[in-house]
Chain A
Amino acid sequence: MKFLFLAYFLTVALLSTFLFQDQDKELKESIDRGRDIYTDFCIACHMANGEGVEKTFPPLAQSDYLLKKREESIRGIKYGQQGEIVVNGVTYNNTMAPMGLYDEEIADVMNYILNSWGNKSNKIVTPEEVSAIIKK
């Protein structure tokens, strides 16, 4: 009986380690792909360290909007963003065109910006999550 318990706990522990590793690996790969997307589509306005441009382009680094409004952020990338938004207490009123990215690419770039420049998000953005977000 003791042996069974031990075996059970060991199996669970091993399985979960592998599973988490798998998820970590998945996230890491997505972040790597997201970095390329960021360099191609985002960097000219949001800048290399996600600092944005004062008064014109909101920051992504340590951005309360990005970190707290996950769905709105994905929607903004997917369908474009227009009108006033408040980021870290500063109001921005500009237009970001929809970038024409595939759902996979949006998930990748979200994972990159959610895990860069001091940002941290444990929950991976998946293409399915992106696909489920509809235009408002």
Chain B
Amino acid sequence: MKNSILMIFIALIFLNSSCAQKSDNEVNTPEKNPFTAELIIDELQIPWGFTFLPDGSMLITEKSGELIHYKDGNKNTVGNSPAIYARGQGGLLDIVLHPDYKNNGWIYISYASEEGGDKGGNTAIIRAKFDGNGLTNKELLYKGEPNTTGGNHFGSRIAFDDKGYLFFSIGDRGERDVNPQDITRDGGKIYRLNADGSIPSDNPFVNTNGAKTAIYSYGHRNPQGLAMNPETGEIWNNEHGPQGGDEINIIQKGKNYGWPVITYGINYSGTPITDKTEMEGMEQPLHYWVPSIAPSGMAFVTSDKYPEWKGNLLIGSLKFQYLERLELKGNKVVYREKVMPDLGRVRDVRQGPDGFIYVAVEGKGIYKLAPKN
């Protein structure tokens, strides 16, 4: 008898621990949501990014090239927006304000650009000011090279850290065997610049012969989520893997994130890319998704509007059409949940200056998550 009780006890412990290991790769669907999703801006096609101006109005990028100023319920097209290379995944992409926008007025925008000699396009970052009608003072801060007619993996996300550095991503442009592991080439990288576009003197490869000195980390595939963890000041990314193997990474100076030498994913055709998921000198993701969710924009919840979500990470799923909420314990994902299941292809998520969460959904518009009282 004693023995069998002991056996049951051991079995229970074993069950518990095996569940605990698996839990970070299972997504839960709650029965009730503690909020209602209010559609505040409708009739958007592919709202890639959006940001809030101090007067409460918003700037929204449509991938097709239109920059929208949304104010008092009206949408106006912002003039003098950048000329885009509209091909495949390329277009008008992210938009972010400088942390001190109130005083300096700088807006940062990423897009696919034909600038330069070669045929095709690559990702560009500009900054500009907005006079209420159009963009002024446009400055090109960075342009990925070379242009190609490939339609894939422009990256695009922009984020500032708490020291005022500007980070942005360029994907591997569909040339995984050429770009991501080569620091003399653009593509498959996270970059760091000063806010004026100059290269910080302590960037990791400033003294490496031939290197693109704006590079901060490499070995990425297609990072389309980038945000500062407000607790640590670190930049986190999420990136599209191949089939399986989407990742969350903490971006560290000079580090190699392994693509395509190591990955948890496989080719779309089902054939392997590599048999390695880890290797010395290459970083492991903080989290990876199999199957892929196709992660888009990401945001940390810091406001008091959703007390139970504080410190959580929100990430859009383009593939399964929901917003994913991830609870973290230090640098571990301990719980995943579908917020807004079946809502549509979530392209971006941001916490507004009012503390509310806003979610951009393709073919629909921008939703505000209003907590239920």
Residues of chain A at the chain B interface (Cβ within 8 Å): 39-41, 43-44, 47-48, 53, 55-56, 80, 82-83, 93-95, 97-101
Contacts and interface: CB of A to CB of B under 8 A. Distances in A.
- The DSSP consensus for interface residues of chain B is loop
A40 B150 contact: yes
A99 B363 CA distance: 16
B277 interface: no
Given A40-B174, A41-B88, A82 B345 contact: no
A95 B319 contact: no
A47 B363 contact: no
A94 B364 CA distance: 9
A28 B91 CA distance: 32
A97 B91 contact: yes
Interface of B: 45-46, 63-64, 85-88, 90-91, 150-152, 174, 240, 267-270, 294, 319-321, 342, 344-345, 362-363
B268 A100 contact: no
A48 B86 contact: no
Residue picked from A39, A53, A95, A101, most chain B C-beta under 10 Å: A95
B13 to A, nearest CB: 38
Contacts of B45: 80, 82, 95, 97
Contacts of B63: 97
Contacts of A53: 319
Residue picked from A40, A80, A82, most chain B C-beta under 10 Å: A40
Contacts of B90: 100
A54 to B, nearest CB: 9
B320 A95 contact: no
B151 A41 contact: yes
